[in-house]
Structure 1
Amino acid sequence: MAVTTEKTLKKQLTTSNMFNDRIRTTNFNELSTQELVELSFNLKPSQAAELLESIDVLTDLKNVRTKFSSNKELQFEASFELSKRILQFGVKKEKITSSYGLAQHLIQETRDLEQEHFILITLNTKNQIIRRRTLFIGTLNQSIAHPRDIFREAIRDNAAQIIIAHNHPSGDPTPSEADSVFTSRLTEICELIGIQMLDHLILGESTYYSYAEN
């Protein structure tokens, strides 16, 4: 039994060393998809092949529930989130230079939405985006946003500044009284906890309203 265990351990160590050597010497753009999956998640060839056979398109990898350990599932999730952010913002962090430029970009994304979407953008001290996410999806004329949830995410990102935005499906970006009250409330909380709120953008069909500009 002891001899068998020793042989198994040596085999595992040899495989691990081969894996590490391969990572250091591989030209990744020449690898097959299966080999990339093997290296990305430290899978055996048979495991990677089985995983790829279980999906129809590569994007399904994000949602696949494998038979592997929970640590590998977390590794999948972390890798996909990082890849998504690289594709979304580029290797260099995207920098916000004006409310106008940001609003034009967001209008294109939200102009056809039939419900209000509340967007939180967290930034560092250099106005570079840390993360952007849709926090809430509401009704035709209301997004249910709570300051507690907004600041929990901002603190989690270690943000120095935030920008919030939401769309008006009617196409008219004129702020409602509720929008103004909510903005004032958030601004006060920002001052208390030391996070600067740069702007609240209301997005219409082709125009926008900026609290910072008005």
Structure 2
Amino acid sequence: MGNTVKNAKGSYPIKEWPKSDRPREKLLEQGPEALTDAELLAIVLRTGDGKSGRTALDHARQLIKRFETFRNLASVAPAELLDLKGIGPAKTATVKAVMEIARRYATEKFPQGKAFSRSADVFAHFHQRLKDKKKECFFILLLDSKNKAIREERVSEGTLTSSLVHPREAFAPAIRESAASLILVHNHPSGDPTPSREDEEITGRLVECGRVLGIGVLDHIIIGQGSYYSFADRGRLAPGAPPTPS
């Protein structure tokens, strides 16, 4: 979290902080994933309180301390926010509007029934979301017997390792949804979709687990910056398939 810059009279306005400490500039330079909950909320609140010297980040920290999670904050009635010092009608309305947008986004209908018959279809579905991610995100796309989408599920986030992508986490949703098959998808923050040795090992292990469970792994697609790598297109989905030539 950016440190509040202080003098003997209290906090400087955020605009007088070092650029690297200002939440808005930090988001634009490093991406939203680099910000703390309080920093993100400070951008929503926009301004502080000139009379008390409290910054937007001070108010954001107050809200996080009071309600602990965004889920709790989303469920709070406007009147309760208005009772807090420095949180007036404008800030209350903005916070509630953002929380409602997040709720609607989370409940937007997945394109259930859409056919994913080519690797390009999968790339088109995930590319915009994953191409600028700073961390590796691993998804599974669940399909029915006609290769039509049932749902997608994020399995892990972080550097892709065998400990992060365990067969249990990958196949539990498929079993629960009675999926006939699935497609593995993850991104490379570097922008280069060439599979690593770890990618190859994970793919081979999950393909073998799928064979045992009777749930086909149709592809593993790695999303890069404007391009992708498909294990299926390269004929490399069979257990024990040879590694990518160096």
Normalising by structure 2, we get a TM-score of 0.52
List aligned pairs for 1:96-175, cutoff 5 A.
Answer: 96-139=116-159, 144-175=164-195
- The residue identity in structure 2 corresponding to 1:84 is T
Question: Residue 84 of structure 1 aligns with which residue?
Answer: 107
List aligned pairs for 1:1-214, cutoff 5 A.
Answer: 56=93, 57=96, 60=99, 84-86=107-109, 88-89=110-111, 93-139=113-159, 144-214=164-234
Give the deviation of 1:120 after TM superposition.
0.9
Report if aligned partners of 2:161, 2:198 keep a CA contact under 8 Å in 1. no
SS at match of 2:142: strand
RMSD: 2.8
- The residue identity in structure 2 corresponding to 1:126 is K
4+ residue segments displaced more than 4 Å: 50-56
SS at match of 2:206: helix
Report if aligned partners of 1:116, 1:142 keep a CA contact under 8 Å in 2. no
2-structure distance, mates of 1:52, 1:62: 16
2-structure distance, mates of 1:127, 1:58: 37
Deviations 1:13-63, CA, capped at 9 Å, x for gaps:
xxxxxxxxxxxxxxxxxxxxxxxxxxxxxxxxxxxxx96877844674699
1-structure distance, mates of 2:190, 2:166: 22
2-structure distance, mates of 1:142, 1:108: 24
1-structure distance, mates of 2:158, 2:229: 19
- The residue identity in structure 2 corresponding to 1:103 is F
Q: Which has the higher helix share?
A: 1
Residue identity (%)? 35
- The residue identity in structure 2 corresponding to 1:185 is R
Paired positions, count: 145
Higher RCO, 1 vs 2 (CA within 8 Å, ≥6 residues apart): 1
What residue ranges of structure 1 are gaps of 5+ in the alignment?
1-49, 64-76
2-structure distance, mates of 1:188, 1:106: 25
2-structure distance, mates of 1:184, 1:173: 17
Normalising by structure 1, we get a TM-score of 0.59
